[in-house]
Structure 1
Amino acid sequence: MTENIQLTEGFFQDLFENKVKNDDQPILQVLRTRFLTNSATICMKVQTSDGVFYFNNVGMTVELSDRVKEEKLEELSGFPVIKILSFSCQTSGDKRTMTILDYKILSRPDAKIGEPIQHTGDPSTFTGIMGAKRRMTENSASFGGMPAPPSKRASVDPSSVGLYRISAINPFNTGKWKIQGVVSNKEEMREIQGKGGRGPFKVFNFEVVDKEGSAIRIASFGETAEKIFNQIQKDRTYYISGTSNAIRNANKRFNSTGHDYEISFNSDCVVEDCDEQIAKAKFVLKPVPLAKINELNGQTIDVLGVIEKVEDCQTIMSRDQRELKRRNIHLIDQSGALISLTLWAEHAIAFDVAETEKRVIGIKGAFVREFNGTFSLSINSSSRVEVDPEGPQTDSLMKWYETERPNMEVKTFNQGSQGGNFLEELRSVHAVNKTDMPSRALRGVYFDMVGVINNVRMEGAIYPACPNEGCIKKVTEVDSAFRCEKCAQSFPECKYRYTVSMEVCDATASVWLTLFDEQATKFFGKNATEMNILMRDDRETYNNTFQSKIFTRHQFRCRARMDTYNDVTRPRIQVFDIKTLKLDQFSLALDAQLDKLEKLPA
């Protein structure tokens, strides 16, 4: 009997999202065991379930060896339910493991509890799954009972299925599901090449929104796509039904609906015209404060902000020498952060500057990206944008902008200059040089470092750059003009910029850092144009400006990442901020590191 036993559902997802406290005592079920005789750390491997997930990389510490045998846990009589009294977690590369240090057997039921699915240890695979599971129960309140489970590959009889909220669609819908929604966006049919050279085959995506404003993306492939493409029309309402095998995790990079899942329209799915038309797709936003977008890099979010400034539309050259139209729009909200929204192509051209500046804009499905530590937003064809969307949030934001914005100090959001926890992110030069830290993340790892400037390379510290805003490419002088190959333009004047290399050392080692224009201007007290004039007219002052920084100690905010140039990949460390060292904070950080060293096993 298992009905009176409550496992700690979702424990493994919370564990890998770092939401579990050290003193938590989860209740888990043992599904499989394997006793080990050749391990110095664990005596038994245990496949363990929390009722939603099971995880294979769990072990009993070797100190529990006698107790495991005494309680016959390795014989696996039934499916023991245990309370974990103490445990530890380890990470090695991409592999995560959990070691049980102490436990208590609560019962030995004969059956497995629930239908757990395997967790690999990667939390991004199941982001939002527990919230979706909890929302399943909401359907019965608004749309009647839950439908009965289908056979393995049963097609759907739409007339026999109760309606679901779109927000409640998830892989845990064990029965048939059916939604009603208006098509808010429909993409054109296109051909793609399949894996292993298969194809090409056709694909198109569309999005539907229900009466509550919840949206979901639906992807259709091959013959199914061709069959329903002409039937699906924008602004028309449909019933769409299917089974749980059509639901998959949403790719947040391309899915702007905000839903954790999307529907892969397969042969089990049915689309029907709906007589009850939804007049207009409801525009519902769950806006993220602009000051928090650094936590959501690579994801789509909802945004509500005031248009502070609209830049002119510019023509730039792509890497493959195509002309692209681009326009930057600066947004601000009550969090005080000023963020750039980049529009491309038709969106950039069509944006009405005169009618939108100093008004509220709502975006459903803005994509967050980071480049060189600076965060920005962009939209795609499936993003929904409304100026002055109806609702109290718009009124409140506009009132704030008119009354409080004029007296507010605005912050531009930059992960590099903003910094993190100095006590946690302080690193020695040796740790940066001799570990794999630069390669741990695709866009690099941010950290703090304290050191003395040992040398500054003055040659090549300044270069002539393109004067176009947003372009930092080096220009070449051709026929008394400066040519930018990226922008495919020539200019009578160029803009000088810094790219300074300097050697920094601490008690452990030395390393070369790169300092770019904004940070170098702040550090040396002169912009690159002024330094270029000194280099030409007063070489002594030019040299002294750089040499005055040698043998001075500072706190550096840096990013380390792997950089490829001329087919050679090597670590590159960029400086995002230089601060005067506060010795009291530095002392606390060193004490914290010594405490960690003392706690390491001998």
Structure 2
Amino acid sequence: MPVNLTANAISAIVAGDVNAKPLVQILDVKLAGATQDRYRLLISDSVLVQQAMLATQLNGLVKAGGLRKGSVVQLIEYICTYIQNRKIIVVLNMEIIIPDCDIIGNPKMLDESDSAVQKSVPERPFLSAASDNNNNHLGAQNAVRSNAPFRNNVNSSNLASSAQSFRPVVQPPYQPPPNFKGHGAIMKNEAPARIIPIAALNPYQGRWAIKARVTAKGNLRRYNNAKGDGKVFSFDLLDSDGGEIRATCFNAVVDRFYDVIEVGKVYIISKGSLKAAKKDFNHLKNEWEIFLESSSTVDLCPDEDAIPPQQFSFRPISDIESAENNSILDVIGVVINVNPSVPIMRKNGMETQRRILNLKDKSGKSVELTLWGDFCNREGQQLQALVEAGHFPVVAVKAGKVNDFTGKSIGTISSTQIFIDLDHPEAHSLRDWFDRGGKDIASHSISKEIMPGGSKNEVRKFVSQIKDEGLGRADKPDWVTVKATISFIKTDTFCYTACPLMIGDRQCNKKVTRSVGNSRWLCERCNQEFEECDYRYLLQIQIQDHSGLTWVTAFQEAGEEILGCSAKELYLLKNEEQDELRYAEIIRNCLFTEYLFRLKIKEEIYGDEQRVKLTVVKADKVNSSAECRYLLDSIARFSAR
């Protein structure tokens, strides 16, 4: 059955018509490079041949064997753009009509002139049908391989053998080129770029636009490398077809768009460049990432119900147990426990906050969720208040990071989003399950069991165990939590005078002294003088429990948690206002109050003597409700052994 390809399809596409859905034939398929997973095509409309590039999302058609040399296909979505000063058709979507077919017609490369073709092909007034078909096929192959005019490969034996079946060659009738005057504005970039799905984006498109909702916006980060200082931020986009992609801005582009971009809003974005996504930092299921430039446009448009506010791919907690370390995934569960926030010192010397909570779901498993930084005070405090009030909220985690250190856990990263009691079918189903009896079903934790507020290498201890177990005498400090009562506070020297100057983004805090013959303060580290100093806590506190007592040191933040006021306020109250009654009342209110002390225990050398120093990192008054839950959980774990 003869196949009629769409007449003048190649001319129309090259001239700018991308709205038709022509029927064309594939004359060749090959990899663009030895190490690249991208395919080049030669496309024919039976008269002309043009080079093309297959979008990577269609690679499966080639690998499955459906798209090959000779296939007749219908182009659904495509564009024509310049690549290395040559026009290339980029095929975004197609449908295979006939997987295998003989070469149709006698096509030639589009950039060959008619005169060149006529000069290179001798007159063939009489050829057999079989020889004509063979040579048409061979001529098409030569054109595909070398972009050269077809040559007559018929030898004398072919002519002799087909002498009895001569027939004249019928030339195709002349067809004038199509008129595309109406598309002139598009070719001159005078009209808006056509909006395409995110899934169709690729680096070979000259002009594109996408309409998408911002689902996440990263913090503004500053960096320093061999090229100098810089700043960067990224945001994630979701369109109505479910396609997701990340957009990134650097330096001057940050100034243009950082304040413009808002999470939840819908924008039309165009004129950016696409580069391969770095999967170490980009969890979205897209091989490309948009880099906005000085010429890029970001236009706010009315909200559209067709674009969902967020897209989730929830994994049950039981699946996390077999997930790879550092993998990024979405998880949803009911919060069954929230621990206090504790300060953590990073390797770069900066301090941050960490809060651990526990989630359970219908899979019969529970997992630790570790909140870092702002999540601790923002979502963390809200979750703690809800749990303490007896409401166990459903929490959805978008882009949590898997950690496999002594069990599996989930942690937040810069692109993580936390949703509390989300309006989502999965959240409603989990809520109903929990309220109907799921809360009473025992669940097995896939994370290491630790005490509230603890880290992966610490447990709850009694005071006597600190000495009995020789804590703090190893190369690294021990971190433990002790539930104890304050029995005494030294009040003669409860603070010191500190340098208020900033070194980078941190305060100096070194001890300062009065200058000789001067009322100004001097910091030897900063080598500067100033009118006023700061005051920071250096508390010596005796704590005790049923097993014994010990001395601990509390610095600024821990001192404020214990006494409830700043060191400067207490210093002025005692030394300038001389309000002894109020001063004594502040101290007295702390005595015989039970706290959860998080301690750093490390052996240090003072002169020629080695002593174990206990430093209070965090001090929280004991919450009766949370402590009862901890004790009940401890009893349940002990009974299960």
- Same fold flag (TM > 0.5): no
State the structure with more CA Rg: 2
Q: TM-score, normalised by structure 1?
A: 0.44
TM-score under structure 2 length normalisation: 0.42
